[in-house]
Chains A and B, each alone.
Chain A
Amino acid sequence: MTKVSREPLIFEISSAGKTAFKLPALDVPEKKDLLAGVPLRTDIENFPEVSEPEIARHFTRLSQTNYCVDIGIYPLGSCTMKYNPKINEKIASLPGLTQTHPLAPEELVQGNLELMKMLEKLLLEITGLEAITLQPAAGAHGELTGMMLIRAYHQAQGNPRKYVLIPDSAHGTNPSSAHICGYTVKEIKSNERGTVSVEDLTRLMDEDVAALMLTNPNTLGVFESDICQIADIVHSRGGFLYMDGANLNALAGITRPGDLKVDVMHLNLHKTFSTPHGGGGPGAGPVAVKKILEPFLPVPVIEEKNGVYHLNYNRPQSIGRVRSFYGQFLVAVKALAYILNLGPAGLKEMAETAVLNSNYLRKNLEGLYELKYDTPTLHECVFSDKYQKDYGVTNLDISKRLLDYGLHPPTMSFPLIVHGALMIEPTETESRRDLDLFIEAMKAIAREAKENPELLRTAPHITYVRRLDEVLAARNPVLRWEK
């Protein structure tokens, strides 16, 4: 690999008077003062002026420096960055779907509604739950919607309750969602296996607790095997068990959260069901619930009678709208295409392969990197930089060095219960060859940490830009280009 030379900013290649387009001559009488009284910006300072070839080359060169899931492994733990099958995009770009107007009358969008209903039914089958909304626009939005349903239920009983319990290994969005929903968060400590401490839960659970938010498998990749007992403890005090479905990739087709006594959960279509995320989104975070929470679901709810689909807005106990129109419709279509394409056996194989790939990686790197918890893991595993610390090398240095090997680094410094964490989730879409490439790079880096730690501390060496000053950028961000 050779070092890529730095592409100038578009402002830096600008020169006055250049243009990439030409408007046709005005062939109607000119009208003045059409925008009289409207505040208009008079001039845009330093607006770049470039020719068409310059602009095409500039952005093409920039795009060539990009790393994406079409190039290689993207092992961001807890993000499930799997490959996004092209067939999904093809289906979702059918003109009949892309050109539907969101305000078109129901009788003209029966096909669209049918697709949404189909996806709802499939997701309910996968989760083992009883009612669902497709509306939330992302995972955290789904969390908030789920918490609002729980609050609405408790409120309807006369007391919204005060607290939500969340394990110390949870995604940061869990406490945020509970807080935004008006709850105070109490943290549950993990035990030596890295799972929820049943004693701690029993001590904290009372009639003031609205819900427990649990991720299963958790962010260490460990299956919360006490989940049924945990659910019983929460239910015995009238609380709800919320499951963060971020890691459903490890369970789909194998076991169903509804059978594990979960009351409400969100699903990340952009993780488990292969729709794009990160910069390529948007995401979608449907929320599935037990019957008891159905009356509170957001409006509109899709109903079917004799093969005719109808959007029902008349639901007195509903928490109302959580999203304009009907959620991320085309994302739902892509997820549906994915599920139908795999079928039940394929979905099961997806989860099995995700777990197999992760364990193959774990076995090959064990001993070279520390595993703080040696509990068996499913779809992801969390190493730390403990062994490398002896040579003055941190998880940041290891991650930066991976860039030199042309690979995307894993999630870093999360979950918070593992210091110097490197959280690796390969997903099922990586071949044995791709996994081996990653393993070989990690092995080489472990060697380099011993023999030449300076090489890691100054990495990356051959990327488009070298190590950036994150601290300076966070403390004094420069958000506009200036001459």
Chain B
Amino acid sequence: MYPENLYYSQDHEWLKVEGEEVVLGITDFAQKQLGDIIYVDLPAAGKSVEAHQTIATVESVKSVSDVYSPVAGEVVQVNQALVQTPEIVNRDPHGQGWILRLKIKDKSELSKLMKAADYEQFLEGQEH
């Protein structure tokens, strides 16, 4: 279910490492909890963020939720497709529904995140 090549946070974000950059999105669990997503508020490229700070906002029919960046870095690109079709996050949360790309500040921060198997175990305590 959860791709092996991604890192996962306790706040249900995923990260994919590509060289000095990471791609960030929300997990399948998160999109299911939120329900139909109707708007994604994206940051401007160049914005820098500390670890655990809000970097984007996702609005669904049920709620408005912050997306936290699990690592410190600088936004290099955002997924413009989400402006017109935010529902891609529901359809393909780990792929086409990526939210933004960060230039990561300190790669060692990745070691604090979970791998797929750990995240799945973590979810068992969350599911209700």
Contacts and interface: CB of A to CB of B under 8 A. Distances in A.
Interface in A409-468: 412-414, 416, 419-420
Nearest to A389: B128
B74 interface: no
A446 to B, nearest CB: 17
Interface residues of B, number: 11
Given A384-B128, A386-B128, A420-B128, A413 B38 contact: no
Interface stretch (B20-28, B59-67, B92-100): B59-67
B33 interface: yes
Contacts of A199: none
B38 A471 contact: yes
B36 interface: yes
Nearest to A421: B62
Interface in B34-86: 36, 38-39, 61-64, 86
Contact of A419 (B38, B86, B87, B128): B128
Interface centre among A386, A412, A470 (most CB of B within 10 A): A470
Contacts of A31: none
Contacts of B63: 413-414, 416
A475 B38 contact: yes
Contacts of A474: 36, 38-39, 61
B128 A372 contact: yes
Interface string A4-21: 000000000000000000
Given A419-B33, A474-B38, A413 B62 contact: yes
A276 B21 CA distance: 54
A188 to B, nearest CB: 14
Contacts of B87: 475
B36 A471 contact: yes
A412 B86 CA distance: 23
A470 B128 contact: no
Nearest to B84: A475
A469 B85 CA distance: 17
B24 to A, nearest CB: 20
A138 to B, nearest CB: 19
Interface extent on A, as a size class? 10 to 19
A457 to B, nearest CB: 15
A471 B128 contact: no
Nearest to A420: B128
Contacts of A416: 63
A66 B39 CA distance: 30
B14 to A, nearest CB: 20
A358 B86 CA distance: 40
Interface string A337-373: 0000000000000000000000000000000001010
A172 interface: yes
B41 to A, nearest CB: 14
A322 B38 CA distance: 34
Nearest to A416: B63
Contacts of B86: 475
Nearest to A414: B63
A474 B61 CA distance: 8
A466 B39 CA distance: 25
Given A372-B128, A420-B128, A471 B61 contact: yes
Contacts of A372: 128
A416 B62 CA distance: 10
Nearest to A386: B128
A165 to B, nearest CB: 15
Interface in A383-419: 384, 386, 389, 412-414, 416, 419
A389 B128 CA distance: 9
Contacts of A471: 36, 38, 61
A116 B36 CA distance: 47
Contacts of B39: 474
Contacts of A475: 38, 86-87
B18 to A, nearest CB: 31
Interface centre among B63, B64, B128 (most CB of A within 10 A): B128
A470 B64 contact: no
B33 A470 contact: no
A386 B63 CA distance: 19
Contacts of B128: 370, 372, 384, 386, 389, 419-420
Interface in A162-198: 172
Contacts of B61: 470-471, 474
Nearest to A474: B38
B44 to A, nearest CB: 18
Contacts of B64: 172
Contacts of A389: 128
10 contacts: A172-B64, A412-B62, A413-B62, A413-B63, A414-B63, A419-B33, A474-B61, A475-B38, A475-B86, A475-B87
Given A474-B36, A474-B39, A474-B61, 12 more contacts: A372-B128, A384-B128, A389-B128, A412-B62, A413-B63, A414-B63, A416-B63, A470-B61, A471-B36, A474-B38, A475-B38, A475-B86
- In order of increasing CB-CB distance, the 4 nearest A-B pairs are A474-B38, A471-B36, A413-B62, A470-B61
Interface of B: 33, 36, 38-39, 61-64, 86-87, 128
